[in-house]
Amino acid sequence: MFETLTPPETDQILRIMALYAADERPQKVDLGVGVYRTADGRTPVMAAVKQAEERIWQSQETKSYLGLAGDPGFHAVMRDLILGDTVPASRVAALATPGGTGAVRQILELTRNLTPDATVWISDPSWPNHSSIAGYLGLNLRLYRYYDPETGGLDRDGMMADLAEAKPGDVVLLHGCCHNPSGVELSLQDWRDVGALLQRTGAIPFVDIAYQGFGEGLEEDAAGTRILAGMLPEVLIAASCSKNFGLYRDRVGVAFAITADDETQAKAQATLAFLNRQNYSFPPDHGARVVETILTDPGLTEIWRTELREMREGMSATRQSIADALRAETSSDRFGFLASNRGMFSLIGATPEQVEALRDEHAIYVVGDGRMNIAGLTPDSIPYVARAVAQVMG
């Protein structure tokens, strides 16, 4: 029977990962999948994580099951990290999930169960798995304008015009910060304007926040999410600890449904827990416990915040260095936006042929849409990459 299977195409990020792994050229540079690297190209376990793991190892006496929604202590620290005191805990249904992707999946499944004919509005462009999961679940999809390749900035008017067409019950997916793949952010005023538009249309915001702390700072990166949470009765949130805690393979994520009142929260909480039961039963605990251990201990929190700040500042410095190197190579400010974008990614504006030429001729791996993982650059690779990009992109 299995011979009738047609394997689905893997998305372009995973394709690049596999091609990079198979490349034997020593000069190869991985600027594909979104993984943070130090100046010497490593992705180390964060010191705060190591210390938390040691404490857990010393003190944990059972690995017996917890609740279906995960540990309430983990929910609480993530709620504080993302929402601060914007909404009372009694209005927030929470679910621990395997990674941010698990949270995206559970929230879109909740959406489908609530409103099967809802349209999910996704930015053009977006992380490819957003539309993949929504489409897989049979939800309608609409792209809204977001990135303007002409200016390298936000197509604000296009975005507002498109989102004005959303209907009550539709879900508008927004990147909480560090837009993936463009690195183009909404200003605080943009967030307020989007909030007002959502109030008018009755569509529900769904914020995917996977890079909190990688843009301007922990509080700054959560500001947009908090604006929406303060303005609207219902908000959906998916968050990941893959990047800001470096817990990639431990799969740590959380889904929140902010509800209009406490009574509705109880319904949403029970429904989300049921979704966990149907998909994988109890969520993974180890990474979530690491996060909870860090965020409930002031000393560990301080170590973690310092490490995260160093990563963020390192990425800003890398952005400036690659922009400078490209200015020198191209004698133009054409790539100046690389310095002002935020987060791990930028779109360098390469055509598919140019992406291929970077790979084939220079062993430089960026994603097919021209997305470059800035955090994959090192002081050693920057001059090489700048020369190759200038050569290939003319």
Task: By CB under 6 A, name the binding residues for ligand LMR.
Answer: 13, 33-34, 127, 180
Nearer to ligand LMR, 74 or 127 (CB): 127
CA distances from 232 to 148, 269, 355 (A): 28, 19, 41
> The tokens of 19 are what?
């091609």
Distance of closest approach, residue 34 Cβ to ligand LMR, in angstroms = 3
Across 55-71, b (16+ Cβ under 10 Å) vs e yields beeeeeeeeeebebbbb
Q: Which residues 6+ apart lie within 8 Å of 200 measured at CB?
A: 164
From 208, 221, 250, 285, the catalytic residue: 208
Pick from 184, 180, 210: which is nearest to 338 by CA? 184
Cβ-closest position to ligand LMR: 34
**Measured between alpha carbons, how far is 162 from 315 in angstroms, rounded to an integer?**
32
Least Å distance, CB 180 to ligand LMR, is 5
Q: Which is catalytic among the residues 48, 210, 238, 255?
A: 210
As measured in angstroms, the least distance from the Cβ of 255 to ligand LMR is 16
Output 46 or 390, the one with its CB closest to ligand LMR. 46
Q: Which of 229, 243, 325, 388 is catalytic?
A: 243
Question: Looking at beta carbons only, is 106 or 119 nearer to ligand LMR?
Answer: 106
Two tokens, residue 111: 């959406």
Question: Which candidate in 127, 191, 375, 390 is catalytic?
Answer: 127
CA–CA separation, 367 and 11 (whole Å): 10
Known active-site residue 208? yes
- Judged by beta carbon, residue 319 or residue 327, the one nearer ligand LMR is 319
Least distance in angstroms from the C-beta of 207 to ligand LMR = 16
Rounded Cα–Cα distance for residues 272 and 257 (Å): 9
Q: How far is the CB of 59 from ligand LMR (least distance, A)?
A: 32
Q: Least distance in Å: CB of 42 to ligand LMR? A: 18
Q: Which CB, 13 or 377, lies closer to ligand LMR?
A: 13
Q: Which is nearer to ligand LMR, 25 or 249 (CB)?
A: 249
Q: Is 63 a catalytic residue?
A: no
Check if 190 is active-site.
no
Which residues are known catalytic residues?
127, 208, 210, 243
